[in-house]
Amino acid sequence: MYLVCGEALFDFFSADEAGTPANKVAFQAIAGGSPFNVAVGLRRLGIDVALLAGLSRDYLGQRLRQVLDKEGVDTRYLREFDAPTTLAMVAVGADGSPHYSFRGEGAADRQLLEEHLPVLGEQVRGLHVGSFSLVVEPIAGALRALVRRERGRRLISLDPNVRLNPQPDIQLWRQRIAELAGHADLIKVSDEDLALLYPGQAPEVRVQGWLEDNAKLVFLTRGSQGATVFSRRHGSWSVATPQVQVIDTVGAGDTFQAALIAWLTEQGLDSPLGLEQLSREQIDALLRFAVNAAALTCTRTGPDLPYRHQLT
């Protein structure tokens, strides 16, 4: 089992049609949040997974629980709070890239405390953390404590997934990412994230620092330009993104992350030692699997992550 930790929310997409009066706004709401998407994506890829998150007792929070139950995500680590569900207002650009505005101050997914952290059995092979849960309190402190506690005992993966709207303090983002990267075995980061975190710095400089610290593998995604893998043992190389008809890119990064974990789990290499044993050919197969999975998500509206039988 893999344990994914972080926020669960609803993405609100504009569904206005031509001629809609100005005093009316139509929305399509889709369950989301980067960790939530990764958890669902892992289950769709056939991996046993649980979500550690705070859920609201309100209507939307219970809908999120229904989605997890339907998808088969283990909900034993969820904690419920009398606080609202975070809402993310999503505007999709001409190139399919999303732009977010969050309504989440005091929301349920931020309320997780260190005292809520579970004792993990041997069935939990790894942890994944990412997105704004890394920088908003009190959940940020709880996740830092969890990662510190579990380092070396299980595979730890990190995706910064920077969102400045919930927390605009970029220096705080840098501090938290630097601390967590020091514990992570596998890091996936987008070129957009690195540009926000370290403007003017070549991505390779930051990646090399992570590899010299604790990370065994770092994956840099570049949208339509493909992705690059950096390995301690085997160097770095890139693969291209398959040519697809892009509807939007919402959930593509989460799909990439879920695919990385799923492939490693299928191969029995989902551990710190397993990453060190990977050959160059295996890493290349892992990279291509993740790139192809993410490309498939881009052909769909919203975070509609693929099932295992849809990937060959």
Q: Which domain holds residue 270?
A: 2-16+27-310
Angstrom distance (rounded) from CA 66 to CA 75: 10
54 falls within a domain? yes
Is 21 inside a domain boundary?
A: no
Q: How many CA atoms lie within 13 A of 63 on its CB side?
A: 13
Q: Taking the CA of residue 230 as centre, how many other CA atoms within 13 Å lie in the half-sphere pointing to its CB?
A: 20
Tokens of 24: 């009316």
Residue 253 lies in a domain: yes
pLDDT band for position 171 (50/70/90)? very high
The pLDDT of residue 88: 87
Ranges of H-type helices in 157-220: 170-181, 191-197, 203-213
What predicted TM-score, i.e. pTM, was given to this entire model? 0.94
Lowest mean pLDDT among 13-22, 44-53, 112-121, 174-183: 13-22
Asked whether residue 110 is assigned to any structural domain, the reply reads: yes
Burial of 177 (0-12, 13-18, 19+ CB in 10 A): buried
pLDDT tens digits for range 145-155: 999 999 999 99
- Of residues 180, 188, 211, 185, the one with CA closest to residue 272: 185
pLDDT at 214: 93
272-312 residue pLDDT tens:
999 999 999 999 999 999 999 999 999 998 788 999 999 97
pLDDT tens digits along 15-54: 767 767 878 877 888 999 999 999 999 999 999 999 999 9
Predicted local confidence at residue 94, as pLDDT = 62
Residue at 46 is within a domain: yes
pLDDT (tens digit per residue) in 185-212? 999 999 999 999 999 999 999 999 999 9
User: Position 150: which residue type?
Assistant: E
Q: Report the run of H or E that residue 29 belongs to, with start and end.
A: strand 27-32
Q: Which amino acid is at 171?
A: Q
What whole-number distance in Å separates Cα of residue 242 and Cα of residue 293?
A: 10
Tokens, residue 63 = 């809908």
Domain count, the chain: 1
pLDDT band at 96, cuts 50/70/90? low
- Establish if 35 belongs to a structural domain: yes
Residue 159: which CATH number? 3.40.1190.20
What is the per-residue pLDDT for 95? 67
The strand pair at 155-159 and 186-190 is best described as: parallel
CB burial class (10 A; 0-12, 13-18, 19+) of residue 27?
A: middle
Residue 178 forms part of a structural domain = yes
Is 36 a domain residue?
yes
- 64-87 residue pLDDT tens: 999 999 999 999 999 999 999 999
Give me the chain's average pLDDT, please. Answer: 94
Task: Provide the 3-class DSSP secondary structure of residue 258.
Answer: helix
For residue 248, what pLDDT band results from cuts at 50, 70 and 90?
Answer: confident
pLDDT at 78: 97
